[in-house]
Structure formats: C-alpha cells, structure tokens
Amino acid sequence: QVQLVESGGGLVQAGGSLSLSCAASGRTSSIYAVGWFRQAPGKEREFVAVIDWTGGITYYGDSVKGRFTISRVNAKNTAYLQMNSLKSEDTAVYYCAIANNMGVPTSPRRYDYWGQGTQVTVSS
C-alpha cells in the first residue's frame, strides 16, 4: 500500500502561480510513476502531468504544456507540480496518483493509488 497526501492548493489570481506537493508513504519502492490529474465540477478527471520515478521522463496534458512543471525528489518520496500563468479554467480539484507498473501512463485507469485531492481556485 502507498499513501499519498497532497498539499499546496488555494486561491490565486489569474496569471499567478501555485506549487502543489504530493508526499508518498508506505510501500514507496513499488512506485513507477507519479501523475497529476484534475477534476472540475461536472467534468471528467483530466490528465495534467506524469513523471517517471527513476528516469525523470515527463509528459504533460496539452492544456498545461509550457505552464506547468512536474518534478520529484526521490529521497523525500515527494512529487511536485509547479503551476505558472494560471487561468480560470485551471480551477479544479487536483489529485496525485501512483502507478505501480512500468511506463508513464496518462489514463487514470492505469493508476493504483490516489491522494485525497487539493482544491485550486483561480480567480479572473
């Protein structure tokens, strides 16, 4: 089992920045990738970014490319999502998730563990 705790959400004005953290505990040796997803009211869960836990390979959703950066510090078992140039459409609950299988998946179905989510609200 892996437990995830997100932090760093909040309210920010459009054009501003926020940094989210995702701290993992438990069986962290099983982690292959960490992904960030978001879900706005009435919408499906959307892929934001993913990072491979060992090699650092990253992929981003089209709507956040060039604005968001995913990173990880293995020694701390923590992943981060730096969000810059935020827009009102970035408003959502942001979730981090762990995949225990090789690869850098973008589908939420490929993930095994999920955090509780953190709210990000961008005011226009």
User: Tell me, what DSSP letter sits at residue 30?
Assistant: G
Q: pLDDT tens digits for 82-113?
A: 999 999 999 999 999 999 988 899 999 999 99
pLDDT of residue 61: 98
Instruction: Output helix, strand, coil percentages for the chain, rounded to the nearest 5.
Output: 10, 50, 40
Interatomic CA distance for residues 61 and 116, integer angstroms: 21
pLDDT of residue 9: 94
